[in-house]
Amino acid sequence: MSGTAPAEDVLLGRWLCPVVWRVSARARRLSLRIDPVHGSVVVTLPPGIPRRLGVRLLQANAAWAAKKLRALAPAQPLEDGAVIRLGDVPHAIRHEPDASGECFLAEGEMVITGAARHLPRRTLALLRAEAGRRIGNRATRHAGVLGVKPRAIRLKDTRSRWGSCAPDGTLAFSWRLVMAPEWVMDYVVAHEVAHLREMNHSPRFWAQVAQLSPHRLAAHDWLRRHGPGLLRVGRAEAG
Ligand SMILES: [Zn+2]
């Protein structure tokens, strides 16, 4: 998980805007951007520029920031009773504070053992383990069809790339794909496995992908619309 400075609430008119202040030696000018993962406004200050100038810029752009933040998918905290989709099946988090031992998946449930303060971390670990299992199985199946073999499969928590294929044949995937419909995960895995045959996006590459998955366009569309929501699972709302 990427380390982020905690957001601070800045009063803009009557609205408390969650703001992360960033001082950057490389920044040439004061700037604002939306952090869609944490649901905050990031104000980048060049060295020596005081915060009050940042606040002034925020005030001038308050309507823009409010609109952008409102448009984000709601942050989905991990807590007892929260429902997370694993592939095509919704799973409710069931907290068993008095149980010891491993967390596990049951019928439509993720059973999370141990103290409440460990629940988010233990839920993420369970999701990640399940992602590794499912993505690994898919990759093995697709690789078998094309007669290729990934060197290794790694899981990451990326923001913008759902999968990648390194020149040495190592495939990497966002573990968050486990929360996408199965056909979407299937397509992303197919795409990266096909790169083991064709390290480009030529018509020959797309022909390999089409052998493995018919869902190219629909999966791109799904990820464009719903991918940002996957990034918000397990995040607390800023501010
Ligand atoms: Zn590609």
Q: What is the pLDDT of residues 124-174, one digit of tens each?
A: 999 999 999 999 999 999 999 999 999 999 999 988 899 999 999 999 999
| This prediction's pTM | 0.81
Distance of CA 200 from the midpoint of ligand 1 (Å)? 7
Distance of CA 110 from the midpoint of ligand 1 (Å)? 33
Distance of CA 95 from the midpoint of ligand 1 (Å)? 39
Please tell me the distance from the alpha carbon of residue 217 to that of residue 167, in angstroms, as a whole number: 25
Distance of CA 184 from the midpoint of ligand 1 (Å)? 15
Average pLDDT over residues 53-65: 94
Distance of CA 215 from the midpoint of ligand 1 (Å)? 14
**Tokens found for residue 49:** 């520029």
Distance of CA 199 from the midpoint of ligand 1 (Å)? 8
Distance of CA 167 from the midpoint of ligand 1 (Å)? 12
Distance of CA 164 from the midpoint of ligand 1 (Å)? 7
Torsion angle of C-alpha atoms 19, 8, 71, 181, degrees rounded to 10: 110
Please tell me the distance from the alpha carbon of residue 54 to that of residue 60, in angstroms, as a whole number: 10
Instruction: Tell me which DSSP letter residue 158 carries.
Output: -
Q: What pLDDT is recorded for position 6?
A: 77
For residue 106, list its beta bridge partners.
Answer: 109
Task: Kindly tell me if the per-residue pLDDT of 236 is higher than 70.
Answer: no
Q: Is 14 left (phi over 0), alpha (psi -120 to 50) or beta?
A: alpha
Coil, helix or strand for 66?
A: helix
Burial of 98 (0-12, 13-18, 19+ CB in 10 A): exposed
**pLDDT tens, position by position, 182-229:** 999 999 999 999 999 999 999 999 999 999 999 999 999 999 989 989
Contact between 120 and 77 (Cβ < 8 Å): yes
For residue 55, list its beta bridge partners.
Answer: none
Contact between 32 and 12 (Cβ < 8 Å): no
Nearest to 84 by CA among 123, 119, 121, 114: 123
Distance of CA 209 from the midpoint of ligand 1 (Å)? 10
Please tell me the distance from the alpha carbon of residue 210 to that of residue 190, in angstroms, as a whole number: 9
Residue 156: HSE in the Cβ half-sphere, 13 Å Cα cutoff: 15
